[in-house]
Structure 1
Amino acid sequence: MTPDQLAARTSRALDAAVTAGRELGLTVTDPTVLHDMFSVVVHLAPSPVVVRVPTVLPPYADAGVQAARQRLELDVVAWLAMRGVPVIPPSPLVPREPVRRDGFSMTFWQFVEQAEGEGREPDYVRNSRLTADLHAELRAYPGELPFLSAAEPRFATEALAALEGHTDLIDPADLDRARREWAVLEPLAASRAAFEAEFPGVDFQPIHGDAPAVNIVAAKGGALYSDFELTTLGPAEWDLAALGPECEAAYDEAARRHGLRQLDERALRFVNAVGMIRIVACLALVPQLPMLGEALKPGIEHWRTLPFAGGLRD
């Protein structure tokens, strides 16, 4: 997409969020785009409401797919908020459901003011301890969750297929390796039974699904968990992917306090390997979001130095 096309997409998402907010009875006179990457995030000022409008999506993520995921996120976060867990909750000023407007499916959240100095690199070690606290709370979630949907196996499979012949996006040798690795990893990511057979003793629980150590907001009132878009049933290791030994040790320390099991080394290798394939697969989204091209390069360069499929197979 050209810069003009990207700006037009942002403008359409902003207009849709403002229109939907006003239709729901909110006063919106000074809307502000807070973030614009995979989603356009809009503060409907002066109303204390933030709208998240996904804009960069895989081809299969139609209205039904988006709405189902968004309803699940809203339900989980509302349940956590009801229990007093520090989250950014759904906005109480509108119905707790996704809103479809002008081709976009969006969700409405409570606006929170960030702490002074917010925007610096997160404290990943501290946040890994907070991830264990979150896992302890999530274990009691009574709703039904799909198994490891955060791995998005369909996205990886279709994206790797779509990259065929696109030498402007990926080196053919990298694509070949990614496909061979995914052939090893995909059955374990897509099947609970296959995962359990490969990793005996690694139990599942409700997890955040999308790097909670990165998605903890430093608000004026304290740290708040946010962005539960990929909430799923899975191994705790998924929420520690790519963070490294220091963060893993911090998580284990906090997990012991809650009586949670310690992280499994082989399961960590698996989730890290899947994460690397997801980075490669995201190259298929570069036409929708050109800035990804440069952003993904360090991750892909690191992936080339790693053992094949995380060392799970030769």
Structure 2
Amino acid sequence: MTDAKVLHDLFSVVVHLAPAPVVARVPTVLPRYVDLDSQARRQQAELDVTRWLADRGTPVIPPSPLVPLEPVQRDGFSMTFWQFVEERRDIGPDYVANSEITADLHAAMRAYPGPLSFLSAAEPRFIVDSFALLETRADLVGPADLERARREWQVLEPLVRSRAAFETAFPGIDLQPIHGDSPPANIFAGADGDLFADFELVTLGPVEWDLAALGPTLESAYNRGAQRSGMRPLNQDVLGFVNAVGMLRAIASLSLVPQLPPLMEYLKPAVDQWRTMPFAGGMAG
């Protein structure tokens, strides 16, 4: 390997191992409690799901067939290997179209037979741990905001941690394998067509989780796709719940700013929006 090229460097370093048609993804910005074993379990789920989807013709970036289907650990890092796909750079993302085809992804994922944890993508331990870290970082979030976030989490946490509690709160809402990390924002513009990518947070949950914080226009686009693909439309009560949890994950992510200073510019609009939203997505009252 003599021509390796960094394709992306934010939460992970993504490297094309040219001239081989292989891309390595190495997560580098992680919560302090994440160890190699827990990281490898999550990465294995991602590899298994994307391999399964690719084998059934779903448009995803597949794991590399040149490397065993498992994470590789070196020098304290855990990495995965993916098939290199040429990127189309002439147009930007169409989030409306991306939201509509997310319903197709959900339809494809429904039959995935492998084990997945309930709403692990919400990362409840990350939220709790980050709130503790932020107690001493008033430069990142003020005491009043942090106190509100903690009170909201008291309302939302039981439904995040317990499938039974969620199902009691939202009777009749089916749970299924979902992408976990906003698939409309994680569609790769491949030279031969769009491909779903970055299933690092793949989980079992309501389809609404994958549309959290995207707003009414994109929700409507998803519902058009759902009608076409035989999926149910989004439920407004569940959207309120996932939007509220998503906002608390944004607050918690402020704890990562010391590792990744540019993150602040992405998080500030979300925090500003959160201040205008009903307490705990309206679930407390």
> Does TM-score exceed 0.5, indicating one fold?
yes
Partner of 1:213: 184
Partner of 2:80: 107
Partner of 2:16: 43
Distance 1:54 1:308 in 2: 33
- CA offsets 1:122-168 (integer angstroms, 9 cap, x no match): 21110111100000000010111110100001100111111112111
Match of 1:168 among 118, 122, 139: 139
Distance 1:113 1:284 in 2: 34
AA at the equivalent of 2:176: Q
1:87 positional shift: 0.6
Q: Is residue 2:269 matched to residue 1:298?
A: yes
Q: After the TM superposition, which residues 91-170 of structure 1 pair with which residues of structure 2 at under 5 Å, given as runs? A: 91-118=64-91, 120=92, 122-170=93-141
Secondary structure of the residue that 2:188 maps to in structure 1?
Answer: strand
Partner of 1:245: 216
Tell me, which stretches of 5 or more residues in structure 2 are unaligned?
none
Distance 2:71 2:116 in 1: 18
Match of 1:64 among 8, 19, 37: 37
Q: CA RMSD in A?
A: 0.9
Secondary structure of the residue that 1:213 maps to in structure 2?
Answer: helix
Q: Is residue 2:252 matched to residue 1:278?
A: no
Secondary structure of the residue that 1:52 maps to in structure 2?
Answer: strand
Instruction: Give the alignment's TM-score, normalised by structure 2.
Output: 0.98
Distance 2:213 2:29 in 1: 23
Distance 2:282 2:267 in 1: 22
Match of 2:165 among 194, 201, 211: 194
% identical aligned pairs: 67
1:294 positional shift: 2.6
Partner of 2:58: 85
- CA offsets 1:80-125 (integer angstroms, 9 cap, x no match): 010011110000111111000111000000010011415x2x2111
AA at the equivalent of 2:170: F
Partner of 2:150: 179
Distance 1:206 1:56 in 2: 25
Instruction: Give the alignment's TM-score, normalised by structure 1.
Output: 0.89
Partner of 1:5: none
Partner of 1:262: 233
Structure 1 residue ranges, 4+ long, deviating more than 6 angstroms after superposition: none
1:184 positional shift: 0.7
1:32 positional shift: 1.0
Q: Is residue 2:260 matched to residue 1:289?
A: yes
Secondary structure of the residue that 1:84 maps to in structure 2?
Answer: coil
Distance 1:270 1:116 in 2: 36
Match of 2:28 among 55, 59, 64: 55
Distance 1:232 1:277 in 2: 18
Distance 1:84 1:29 in 2: 33
Distance 2:88 2:27 in 1: 25
